[in-house]
Amino acid sequence: MADEVILLDFWPSMFGMRVRVALAEKGIKYEYREEDLRNKSQLLLKMNPVHKKIPVLIHNGKPICESLIIVQYIDEVWNDRAPILPSDPYQRAQARFWADFVDKKVHDAGRKIWTTKGEEKEAAKKEFIDVLKVLEEQLGDKPYFGGDHFGFVDISLITYYSWFSAYEIFGEFSIEAHCPKLIAWAKRCLQKKSVSETLPDGKKIHGFINDMRKKLGVE
């Protein structure tokens, strides 16, 4: 019986992108369904009644929610190719730790850059750069966070790259100036089809954020 894989998603979401990258890495065919977050589908509300959020992966009728949990699920089910998590338990714990760090720190700091002004914005910029510097240090001289192979932590962070140029424009700063190794890592990841064919162009994200700022009344 062929697998039925449906992804409920929203094109600018860096969380949704993580799942798209993972599916592409594994070469899994799936149906992409765009959600209008102001008018969520009955399917989304039924499949994620607790949070009512995207992304939701529906595999043969069963929903899996939360992007990093979905990525781990994909890795465990399609375990015959392109491993995403390492096989060693200690390395897996390290990967989970750093993906958790990305989740806890990058999103909120980034969001504050385009939703605040003045002093608050400057503080957000500093926090964002500090977080990226910690990640850059963790990367060290490895080609990927996963070592020689693109993996779980890489997937958790690379999807923010499409948002970077928007952060830079609204924050009036250059991420590359502060974290050159991290940008080099991002460009290395973009050489992979699974990443380059998933991440939207930075300009599109910038346009999206412009619209959001108007709606939120941030100017």
Partner 1 sequence: MVDVKLHGAWASPFSCRVVWALKLKGIPYENIEEDLPNKSKLILQYNPIHKKIPVLVHGRKPICESTIIIEYIDETWPQNPLLPSDPYQRALARFWVKFAEDKGFAVWTLFRSSGEEQEKAKNESLESLRTIEEHGLGNKKFFGGEEIGIVDIAFGWMSLWLGIIEEIVGVKLLEAHLFPRLYAWTKNFKEVPVIKQNLPDCHELLLLFKGVREQALGSSSSSSS
Site residues (vs partner 1, CB under 8 A): 49-50, 59, 62, 64-66, 69-70, 72-73, 76-77, 89-90, 92-93, 96-97, 100-101, 134
Q: Is the CB of 72 or the CB of 162 nearer to partner 1? A: 72
Q: Is the CB of 2 or the CB of 50 nearer to partner 1? A: 50
Kindly state the smallest distance separating residue 79's Cβ from partner 1, in Å. Answer: 9
Q: Is the CB of 151 or the CB of 171 nearer to partner 1? A: 151
| CA atoms within 13 A of residue 111's CA, in its CB half-sphere | 10
CA distances from 127 to 161, 174, 213 (A): 17, 14, 21
- Could you give the CA distance from residue 159 to residue 110 in angstroms, rounded to a whole number? 13
Task: Collapse the DSSP code of 8 into the 3-class scheme (helix H, G, I; strand E, B; otherwise coil) and give the result.
Answer: strand
Taking a C-beta distance cutoff of 8 angstroms, is the pair 199, 162 a contact? Answer: yes
The 5-9 sheet, strands edge to edge: 31-34, 5-9, 56-59, 62-65
Kindly state the smallest distance separating residue 59's Cβ from partner 1, in Å. Answer: 8
Kindly state the smallest distance separating residue 68's Cβ from partner 1, in Å. Answer: 8
Q: Is the CB of 75 or the CB of 168 nearer to partner 1? A: 75
Kindly state the smallest distance separating residue 114's Cβ from partner 1, in Å. Answer: 23
Kindly state the smallest distance separating residue 98's Cβ from partner 1, in Å. Answer: 9
Taking a C-beta distance cutoff of 8 angstroms, is the pair 42, 59 a contact? Answer: no
Q: Is the CB of 93 or the CB of 177 nearer to partner 1? A: 93
Rg (alpha carbons) of the chain, rounded to whole number? 17
